[in-house]
Structure 1
Amino acid sequence: MARLIFVAIALLTMGQSMGQQQYVISQYMFNGLVLNPAYAGTHESWSFTLMTRDQWRGIPGAPSTQTFTAHGAITRSNESSVGLIISNDTYGAIALNNLYGVYAYRMSFDRGRHHLSMGLQGGASLFNVDLSQDDLIDPDDPVLNNDFSSIMANFGTGIFYNGPKAYAGVSVPFLLNNRLNQSEDDLSRQVRHYYLTGGAILPLSHDVKYKPSFLIRYADGISDIDLTTSFLFKDVIWLGVTYRVKNSIDFILEIQFTDNLRFGYSYGLVTSELGQSTSGSHEIVLNYRIKKQHPRVNHPRRFR
């Protein structure tokens, strides 16, 4: 049964009916650069983030994702920032690796309390299909033995606003609909993904803050919505729950160990029919920030 699921995923990915190809993450509010290039520089310091996600544990060939991002300002006024995105996304015999550079320009308003950033990213993706490592139902079927790889250049853009109590962003990380297989007979292509994010922070008391947020993904007529509610205790511990509509419920824990180091973990409980075959999804995020020499920071760490 698991192999049938894998074959179905592989054929849907390579066929004309292209759905959402980009990886899904639960802790999007703490790893914004993978969704929006305009996010670069918002941490007010150089920031490095590692993320690993094990999706649908228990199903052979289920998606597995790893990302590394780095970003920070390159001017004293923080107007210009650069970043780097490296990611590895595999499911079954299919692998997608990305390497992208990022540039963002930020404008400040109201004496530096509000910022509007515009970002660009550019780079290349390596798409690879290797069916030789999997147990196929019919190893002589030519459709299931069509290994190939392709390198695709692409670019994307985004806009991001952040202030002392709210943020919002819209982005299209990959604008080109590249052909996945260079063969003229293969019509499968990359699908353009649109992301809309937003959130706010509302103090409930001196030690407790409430932060609602959302993420909307749209691609090829398919949309996903993440609705998150979380609480911050003493600027150190985040506890949150995300409802991915008709898909999963994710429980999130974030701990600010020091001014520089943050750890995050989320567990996703699948609510769709797929939940009968998996024990859930696990995601770990580790963020390290290089502290600035001067102490003034416009937005405290509790916001991002």
Structure 2
Amino acid sequence: MKKILLMVILAATAFTLRAQQPLTHTQYGAQRTAVNPALSLLRPEGEVSFLGRRQWVGIEGAPTAFWGSGHMGFRKMGSTAGVNIRHERLAVERLTEASAFFAKGIRISESEYVGLSLNAGFSYLDGRFSQLDPGDPAFRDDVRETDAVVGFGVAVYRPGRYYVGLSLPRLMLGTLGVGAESRYDFRNQYHLTAGALFRLGADFGFRPSLLVTYAGNLRPQADVQAMFFVGEVFGLGLNVRSYGDLAGLAEFRFGGFGVGYSYQFNPGNEPLNRRMNNSTHEIGLQYRFGGTNSLL
């Protein structure tokens, strides 16, 4: 039964990941460094963040992803340096990526900056395909491959007010996954990000955000998000994604700590069965050094 479930998940995610959309998180309005390391310059004091995403809750082998990021700032240089880590699990496959980045901000007006970032690291694919059915020649041997990656990011921003960025966080240098039965696609992915913060009086704030992701073999994916805050402590919002996905978001901030939660679903899809639905849960944690509690 376990093998059948794994094969069903592989078949379903083959359509989801290859034909529809890449895997991105919905809390990009608060956790941006994983998408574009140049945006770490918006938090020059430094920050550590973690985010976990779980799809199809209740089924073993369903898509699960974790993002981790941390950086420190060098105010005299107007720069930041840090690391991004990503781990995804899909049925019998594991994908791990880690990279270090350096970002530098350049003042272009009295209150606006251009930020540039470079990152380099590796990707490791662990595909245990023999677990599906070792006696079936349709499934190939296990795959364990490592490849180098580089990337870049650019952003125009005004601290505390707005940002617009473009990034290519993963530029593959080899042939990772080529010829394997992998459900992952290692084409280069481009991210366009934007966000702003509007004050609605002394006690309320509004933070719209945008994320557009493009890869050569996938349709572009667009996310639009709106968060409303009471002071700088609590916020509620809604995220709308291409292909009909909706997500409700909540965010809490206190003394430099941040906790976020989102629940994503597609109202047009029926549950796959009694144990397996189309909902996705995300939990995010952050800590900003210096105790800063800015919403942007």
- TM-score with structure 2 setting the length: 0.87
Alpha-carbon distance in 1 for matches of 2:106, 2:39: 13
Partner of residue 114, structure 2: 116
What secondary structure sits across from 2:53 in the alignment? strand
2:246–2:264: 8 Å Cα contact kept in structure 1?
yes
The counterpart of 1:172, out of the listed 168, 171, 174, is 168
What secondary structure sits across from 2:295 in the alignment? helix
Q: How does 1:172-251 map to 2 (within 5 A)?
A: 172-176=168-172, 178-181=174-177, 190-219=186-215, 220-251=217-248
Residue type at the aligned position of 2:45: S
1:177–1:191: 8 Å Cα contact kept in structure 2?
no
Residue type at the aligned position of 1:94: E
Partner of residue 5, structure 1: 8
What secondary structure sits across from 2:187 in the alignment? coil
What secondary structure sits across from 1:100 in the alignment? strand
Partner of residue 288, structure 1: 287
The counterpart of 1:148, out of the listed 126, 138, 143, is 143
1:41–1:71: 8 Å Cα contact kept in structure 2?
no
1:169–1:198: 8 Å Cα contact kept in structure 2?
yes
Equivalences, count: 287
Let me know the Cα RMSD of the aligned residues: 2.8
Partner of residue 54, structure 1: 54
What secondary structure sits across from 1:271 in the alignment? coil
Residue type at the aligned position of 1:270: N
What secondary structure sits across from 2:8 in the alignment? helix
Partner of residue 294, structure 2: 301
In structure 2, runs of 5+ residues without a counterpart are none
1:210–1:230: 8 Å Cα contact kept in structure 2?
yes
Partner of residue 25, structure 2: 25
Partner of residue 257, structure 1: 254
Alpha-carbon distance in 2 for matches of 1:12, 1:254: 32
Residue type at the aligned position of 1:123: G
Instruction: Give the CA deviation at 1:251.
Output: 0.8
1:20–1:191: 8 Å Cα contact kept in structure 2?
no
Alpha-carbon distance in 1 for matches of 2:139, 2:14: 9
Alpha-carbon distance in 1 for matches of 2:189, 2:128: 25
Instruction: Give the CA deviation at 1:11.
Output: 6.2
Alpha-carbon distance in 2 for matches of 1:36, 1:65: 18
What secondary structure sits across from 1:144 in the alignment? coil
1:130–1:148: 8 Å Cα contact kept in structure 2?
yes
What secondary structure sits across from 2:138 in the alignment? helix
Alpha-carbon distance in 1 for matches of 2:253, 2:221: 29
2:264–2:281: 8 Å Cα contact kept in structure 1?
yes
What secondary structure sits across from 1:125 in the alignment? strand
Instruction: Give the CA deviation at 1:223.
Output: 1.1
In structure 1, runs of 5+ residues without a counterpart are none
Residue type at the aligned position of 1:225: A
Residue type at the aligned position of 1:192: N
Write the deviation string for residues 198-225 of structure 1: whole angstroms up to 9, x where unpaired: 1222222221111211111111242111
Partner of residue 126, structure 1: 124
1:47–1:290: 8 Å Cα contact kept in structure 2?
yes
- TM-score with structure 1 setting the length: 0.85
Residue type at the aligned position of 2:93: I
% same residue: 26
In structure 2, the CA distance between the partners of 1:272 and 1:101, relative to structure 1 (3 Å rule), is farther
What secondary structure sits across from 2:170 in the alignment? coil
Does 281-290 or 270-279 show the bigger shift?
270-279
In structure 2, the CA distance between the partners of 1:155 and 1:275, relative to structure 1 (3 Å rule), is farther
Instruction: Give the CA deviation at 1:33.
Output: 1.2
Alpha-carbon distance in 2 for matches of 1:224, 1:107: 30
1:40–1:103: 8 Å Cα contact kept in structure 2?
no
